[in-house]
């Protein structure tokens, strides 16, 4: 991991086309702006983790695990 110190207003380049802006620091929060190409989705890490877990759980489903229409009404 690369660890660097930045001040508000400074930026970080990730490759040639991703720019991370350190915008402001308020209390214990850092406001960060990220410019990335459309082909690079940007997620909050905890949301990315939660969605990945749901995708994995869904992908574990056996073909006969889904309720049939008649069973739903029961």
Partner 1 sequence: MPPVIVESSRFGTLEIEESAVIEFPTGLIGLGGTRWTLVGDITDGPFQWLHSLEDGDLALPVTNPWAFFAEYEVDLSDADTAKLGADEAAVLVTVRASTELAGFSANLRAPILIAEGRGHQMINEAKDAPVRAPLFEIAESAAA
Where on the chain is the footprint of partner 1 (CB under 8 A)? 38-41, 43, 47-59, 61-63, 65-69, 71-72, 74
| CB closer to partner 1 out of 16 and 73 | 73
User: What span, in angstroms and rounded, lies between the C-alpha atoms of 31 and 20?
Assistant: 10
Whether the CB-CB separation of 24 and 31 falls below 8 Å is answered with: yes
| CB closer to partner 1 out of 11 and 49 | 49
Instruction: Please tell me what DSSP assigns to residue 56.
Output: H
Least Cβ distance, residue 31 to partner 1 (angstroms): 16
User: What span, in angstroms and rounded, lies between the C-alpha atoms of 58 and 65?
Assistant: 11
Least Cβ distance, residue 2 to partner 1 (angstroms): 23
DSSP 3-state of 40: coil
| CB closer to partner 1 out of 10 and 53 | 53
């Amino acid at each position: 991991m690369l660890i660097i110190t930045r001040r508000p207003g400074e930026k970080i380049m990730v490759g040639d086309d991703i720019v991370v802006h350190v915008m402001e620091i308020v209390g214990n929060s850092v406001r960060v702006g990220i410019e990335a190409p459309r082909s690079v989705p940007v997620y909050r890490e905890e949301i990315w983790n939660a969605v990945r877990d749901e995708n994995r759980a869904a992908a574990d489903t056996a073909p006969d695990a889904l309720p049939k229409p008649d069973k739903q009404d029961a």
